[in-house]
Amino acid sequence: MHTFFSAKHYFFFFLLLVFSEVKSQTPSETVWHHGEIYLFTEQHLKGKIKYSLDNNLLQYLDPSTNTMKTYTASQVEWFEFFDKGRETVRVFYALPYSDKSDYERLIFLELLWQGDKLSLLTREQMIEYRQDMMGGMWGMGMHPNYYFRQEIKQNFFILNDKGKVIAHQDDDQNILNQMQDERDKVLGFIQNHRLRLNRISHLKRLLMFYNAL
């Protein structure tokens, strides 16, 4: 009996560490950054900002009045801030995008790399999935042997020189269709360098090659 409760207590401590790790992956909605906002009205704002990609909203804390204002993607041309966690400046643009219908709406997309013909964009998404635990940790089948975990997924997009945003959507053909004018060279480059286009470093390398052609 003593051994069972000791193992059970140890497991709850382990689970607490796991949930603490998940909680540390803080969504963008809860973090304030020092940044700048450029509105379509040509107004330029400086101060603390935080953003929601799910809702395409940008919150701004006015340092002079200490009041908060909320802007939609239809009002914001672009914004940038310094991400202390990543130690880099991040830049987001409001761009027209059509998901599952022909209706286009402005959404926030982060610029990762800019080229003359094709540019690389990304958009973070918080996903939740079930994580199975090691068998028998709960003991006697009295409790479920899984928990739910959250992670940030990067969804990649391409912006072409006509201003159209194309989603990767786990389909390399979506990207290759934008390089039809240099298809043979592009396919040869992918094969020679064993590129996998679901990897950001590989996709960026391919875009750099294509833009230089």
* CB-CB contact of 195 with 202 (8 Å): yes
Q: What integer pLDDT is reported at residue 11 of this predicted model?
A: 40
Cα–Cα separations (whole angstroms), residue 107 to 48, 56, 58, 95, 183: 21, 6, 11, 6, 30
* CB-CB contact of 117 with 161 (8 Å): yes
Low-confidence stretches of the chain (pLDDT < 50) are 1-26, 136-139
Q: Which residue has the tokens 């194309």?
A: 166
Give the tokens for residue 197. 């286009």
Dihedral, CA atoms, 103, 107, 111, 112, nearest 10 degrees? -80
Sheet containing strand 165-167, strands side by side: 67-72, 57-62, 44-52, 33-39, 76-83, 88-97, 105-113, 118-132, 146-160, 165-167
Report how far residue 179's alpha carbon sits from residue 49's, in angstroms, rounded to the nearest whole number.
37
In the chain, where the domains are located: 2-211
Q: What integer pLDDT is reported at residue 198 of this predicted model?
A: 87
Burial group, residue 182, by CB count within 10 angstroms (0-12, 13-18, 19+): middle
Q: What integer pLDDT is reported at residue 144 of this predicted model?
A: 57
DSSP state of 98: -
Q: Which residues contact 178 (CB under 8 A, 6 or more apart)?
A: 118, 158, 160, 166
Cα–Cα separations (whole angstroms), residue 209 to 129, 161, 185: 36, 16, 9
Q: Which residue has the tokens 């833009």?
A: 211
